[in-house]
Structure 1
Amino acid sequence: MAPSKVLAGARVVLPTGTVDDGRVIVDGTRIADTAPPGADVVDVSGHWVVPGFVDLHNHGGGGASFAGGTAEDVLRGVETHRRHGTTTGGRLRRHRRPGLPRPARRDARRAGPAGGEIAGIHFEGPFISPCRKGAHDEQLLRDPDPAEVRKLVDAAHGHAKMMTLATELPGGLDSVRLLTEHGVIAAVGHTDATYEQTVQAIDAGATVATHLFNAMPPLGHRAPGPITALLEDERITVELINDGTHLHPAALQLAFHHAGAARVAFITDAMDAAGFGDGRYLLGPLEVEVADGVARLVEGGSIAGSTLTLDRAFKRAVTVDGLPVGDVVAAISANPARLLGLDDRIGSLDAGKDADLVVLDDAFDVVGVMRRGDWVVDPRLG
């Protein structure tokens, strides 16, 4: 068991507000109210202590893809993002045919919630619109037949957490209802839906907007489209990729203004190059060129995910976008934890929860990462 620790002297961000010169007590793997005798005192004066980051939407990192079908790739990607503060993440899969391949089934059991490495699986495709496919291979796309949707959910052996759908396609609304009945989040994304069709999807049970603004029709004054419907409905949490490429700062401010901090979830949509570097990569069968940290398809030039890590999204939100630290913590930790149904364990620094936390310096750079009481990045070694 991890030794007990007291992190002292930091600005600690709690659900109730920021405590200056505060402390966080870690007893074994959990946050505690009182320090046991002999606890190791770690001086983090002048720093921030915030909950570990939770990434709902991630394809890989460190040169490895979560869609590659091996546990080794999954664990490599997890470790890369963990060093950047993500202590819980959702694994993305893109499929060539219904059902998980056998290696992926083994990996789900080894690296899924039971193994404690990832929170679950988010299926982004194949039930998306060819008009808004982004970096998905059009030959692999299909309408969301509820029977095929059910096959994917069953094949995930309880690890399916979210599925992105173009809900305007034939079978879309019935698929949303099926997912809702099985406790899987239905997300609207890669969609060409109208405003009215999106309202229907929300009424059917959809609760998430997959990377809002991206891979959907733009907001228009006569055709408000899905963006307006998703922003105005209190039942929807909107994903945002805050890397400076996917969103103009004004679009991010628009989302926060209309949805409020309680309905925003920062995500990475990261591909293999996150935390690894520029070069050529494969995203499924498609070749991607990463230059200056921006990933684009070699053929056609479409943006192909990101190379973002959540620590960069956090820093940008505070230093560029001017958002309050508490709002950023909600968007990067508390809200995604709630969506995943894990807010009883993660997402805040309340006593009794897992000791997942991030230590940031006064420039909002990561200097420490703790997961379940153990240092992944020790601030004393920096």
Structure 2
Amino acid sequence: MATMPSFALAGARLFDGDAWHDDAALLIEGGTVAGIVAKADVPDDMEVRDLDGGILAPGFIDLQVNGGGGVMLNDRPDVETIRTICSAHAPFGTTALLPTLITDTPQITAAAIQAGQEAAEQGVPGFLGLHLEGPHLSIARKGAHDPKLIRPMTDADQAALIAARGTMSVLLTTVAPESVDPQQVAALADAGVVVSLGHSDAGYATAGAYADAGAGVVTHLFNAMSQIGNREPGLAGAAIDDSRLFAGLIADGIHVHPSTMEIALGAKAGPGHIFLVTDAMATIGTDMTSFTLNGRTIHRKDGSLRLEDGTLAGADLDMISAVKFVSRLRGCDLAEALRMASLYPAEAVGQAGRLGRLKEGYVANIVALSDALDVKGVWIDGRRVFGG
């Protein structure tokens, strides 16, 4: 094992996840943050790398990544696919992600879990854990998921998820109350599985009951769920109103109208927060114009990905583009946009004690941005993986 580098990053405005620091240096030792000091106080024996302006911020965390670099986890659920996906998203500022399996067969699901276990064992850079989006969803809110593969959760499914959680830092699963009962959610949550509600027609009261059972996240807010109505707030309303629930948001201006985003951000009850996800597919980092999912062709056009019938199928979105988008929204400044891409997703999956901030003892996952918010450099575990 090569010696982990120790160095200081200086010459950029620094955002530590909570506050801004000017004329400061970020100290990195052994893959972790050793502290923030005035540039003049960097130890004499530490190499200083000058960034010549711009912004230093916590690396982005993406909890919903179906693919990238030309591959989908569904098509080839192995550790090399996970490595390719993680590498494809790093140039866009993502330093930790959950490769996401869209509803598939039990065999493919088992293979994805095995791949996640191997990725964790091998320490694949950028791999945080797995997101299993389905198969325990509502057919009425299936979106691009294959309805033939959607099914209720069995005792065996529950046991497999609990066993898998013990082999990786994070295991998140999206479920619908139509296919999973509160006792199953409670058992999963008690075992450390992060349970997210999504692809569901569940009402406000039902969502609250599942939050009582241990669900803590809502998958891609406003998409594939019951909407806010005058007499029934739906799952979307619960995600915004219930302080226990975090919620992912696909901020591409296609999945959710910008004004709807502004309303949700202004209304969200905390400490749960809205965080950014890409819901990215194989197209990220490539020039491909189409690909297949469960035997169906998905077309890339005009910034979106759609099935033949026009149904949105994931997003043609990377994290820095999502950050840029929300930073322009009313009431959302740059600091909040950066938190939505780093601190809040870390909180949502119980990793805020080690990820999402640039503070002493935290993992040195870092993104360097230009003043125009273009990615200049990326570090994972203190090692530069993108940029000169």
The normalised TM-score by structure 2 is: 0.91
Are 1:266 and 2:276 matched, yes or no? yes
Q: Deviations over 1:329-359 (max 9, x none)?
A: 2211112112232222221000121211011
Q: 1:36 to 1:266 in 2, by over 3 A?
A: same
More deviation, 266-275/318-327: 318-327
Q: Map residues 341-360 of structure 1 onto 2, 5 A cutoff.
A: 341-360=350-369
Deviation of 1:252 after TM superposition, in Å, equals: 1.2
SS of the residue corresponding to residue 304 of structure 1 reads: strand
Are 1:52 and 2:62 matched, yes or no? no
Q: 1:189 to 1:158 in 2, by over 3 A?
A: same
Q: Is the 8 A contact 2:57 2:338 kept in 1?
A: yes
Deviation of 1:45 after TM superposition, in Å, equals: 3.7
Alignment-derived partner of residue 250 in structure 1? 259
Deviation of 1:150 after TM superposition, in Å, equals: 2.4
Are 1:43 and 2:53 matched, yes or no? no
Deviation of 1:320 after TM superposition, in Å, equals: 5.0
Q: 1:220 to 1:106 in 2, by over 3 A?
A: closer
Q: Is the 8 A contact 2:299 2:305 kept in 1?
A: yes
Are 1:74 and 2:76 matched, yes or no? no
The normalised TM-score by structure 1 is: 0.92
Q: Map residues 259-338 of structure 1 onto 2, 5 A cutoff.
A: 259=268, 263-298=273-308, 300-319=309-328, 323-338=332-347
Q: 1:101 to 1:266 in 2, by over 3 A?
A: closer
Deviation of 1:286 after TM superposition, in Å, equals: 2.4
Q: Is the 8 A contact 1:275 1:307 kept in 2?
A: no
Alignment-derived partner of residue 96 in structure 1? 104
Q: Deviations over 1:232-280 (max 9, x none)?
A: 1110001101111111111111221122686111111111112213411
More deviation, 286-295/53-62: 286-295
Q: Map residues 158-237 of structure 1 onto 2, 5 A cutoff.
A: 158-159=167-168, 161-167=171-177, 169-237=178-246
1:60 partner letter: G
SS of the residue corresponding to residue 192 of structure 1 reads: coil
Q: Is the 8 A contact 2:175 2:195 kept in 1?
A: yes
More deviation, 13-22/345-354: 13-22
Q: 1:7 to 1:260 in 2, by over 3 A?
A: farther
Q: Map residues 85-164 of structure 1 onto 2, 5 A cutoff.
A: 85-98=93-106, 103-112=111-120, 115-117=123-125, 118-155=127-164, 158-159=167-168, 161-164=171-174
5+ unaligned residues in a row in structure 2: which ranges?
none
Q: Deviations over 1:132-166 (max 9, x none)?
A: 10110000011233442323443565336111111
Q: Is the 8 A contact 2:26 2:33 kept in 1?
A: yes
What percentage of residue pairs aligned between the two structures are identical? 33
- 2-side partners of 1:195 and 1:376: how far apart? 43
SS of the residue corresponding to residue 305 of structure 1 reads: strand
Q: Is the 8 A contact 1:146 1:174 kept in 2?
A: no
Q: Is the 8 A contact 2:17 2:58 kept in 1?
A: no
Q: Is the 8 A contact 2:137 2:150 kept in 1?
A: yes
More deviation, 230-239/332-341: 332-341
**4+ residue runs over 6 A deviation:** none
1:309 partner letter: D
Q: Is the 8 A contact 1:274 1:306 kept in 2?
A: no
More deviation, 318-327/305-314: 318-327
Q: 1:181 to 1:98 in 2, by over 3 A?
A: farther
- 2-side partners of 1:102 and 1:231: how far apart? 33
Alignment-derived partner of residue 6 in structure 1? 8
More deviation, 270-279/149-158: 149-158
2:171 partner letter: K
Of 56, 62, 80, which residue of structure 1 is paired with 2:69? 62
Q: 1:203 to 1:155 in 2, by over 3 A?
A: closer
Q: 1:260 to 1:101 in 2, by over 3 A?
A: closer
Deviation of 1:321 after TM superposition, in Å, equals: 5.2
Q: Is the 8 A contact 1:219 1:228 kept in 2?
A: yes
Q: 1:146 to 1:105 in 2, by over 3 A?
A: closer
Alignment-derived partner of residue 25 in structure 1? 27
